[in-house]
Amino acid sequence: MTRTLLTLAVLLLALFRIEVIGTPAGSLIRSEAKYMSPGGTFLPYPSVPLEFNGTIDGVPIISKGSIQAIYAQLGLDDPTETAIGFSNESAAVVPREMSDCNCVPVPHNKHWKRAYVFSLEKIIKVMRNWKGDCNIKAQSCMLLNCYYGSAVHACNDKKEDQKLKCNVFADYTQKVRDECYVAKKGLSGEAGGQLWDTEGWNIYVINEGCGAHQVGPPVLDLRNERSHSLESRTEDSEY
């Protein structure tokens, strides 16, 4: 009897060890999506505006919101609309930073649907040219970009903020696009899922409405004459 109990205990410990090893660092507990985003999809944390500090068209900007929101507040065209071609060129990301990739249907969040690949390819193109730092708030989710029913969110499981180079998200989005691709007759295909980073943040690539994502207004750091011209254009657009 004692030997049987000992054997059972060893097996349970082995199973527990496998579960821990197979789970990305910093994210031992996978949160269930229960907070509704502005686009109508459930996410594991409340959705807040992304904090951006970088340059747009050579102008230094400090702002909050998705790519579309920031450009809209500056009176500029949505860069996703004008993005042409698809670059497979990788940003400067260390491959080992990526952890496991869960494709739709994602465990515990099976209501998520796949995004459209033609939209993701434009989103990735824009992200590669996104120059600056992106701050993802502690235990929050932030919309990065949304285009034609396809959205990319970043979520932070940690209890402290994390600052990343914004173009890092391009490689993570492309990884989901490649790993989770599903061919569709007459279409460019679909892809969706969740990709973890070993530092406790992850991205979600999902199907979602984009109409409600104009978050703002941003806070601008205007430090040169060209910035002031953009400020005037932004003020004019409000009337």
- Over the stretch 96-147, which tens digit does the pLDDT of each residue have? 488 889 999 987 778 899 999 999 998 998 888 888 889 999 999 999 999 8
Give the residues across from 201 on adjacent strands: 156
**How far apart, in whole angstroms, are the C-alpha atoms of residue 43 and residue 46?**
7
Domain chopping of the chain, boundaries? 29-237
Q: Which stretches does DSSP call E strand in 27-170?
A: 35-36, 42-43, 51-56, 59-64, 98-103, 115-116, 132-136, 140-147, 150-156, 162-165
**What's the pTM value of the predicted model, to 2 decimals?**
0.71
Confirm if 7 and 14 have CB atoms less than 8 A apart.
no
Report the pLDDT value the prediction gives residue 15, as an integer from 0 to 100: 42
**How far apart, in whole angstroms, are the C-alpha atoms of residue 212 and residue 238?**
18
Report the pLDDT value the prediction gives residue 13, as an integer from 0 to 100: 44
| pLDDT confidence bin for 17, thresholds 50/70/90 | very low
- Distances in Å between the Cα of 39 and the Cα atoms of 2, 88, 181 are 57, 28, 23
Task: Give the CA diameter of the chain.
Answer: 83
Report the pLDDT value the prediction gives residue 128, as an integer from 0 to 100: 86
User: Quick one: what percent of the chain has pLDDT higher than 70?
Assistant: 67
Report the pLDDT value the prediction gives residue 2, as an integer from 0 to 100: 55
Report the pLDDT value the prediction gives residue 83, as an integer from 0 to 100: 47
- Over the stretch 33-73, which tens digit does the pLDDT of each residue have? 788 888 888 899 999 988 888 887 777 888 887 877 777 77
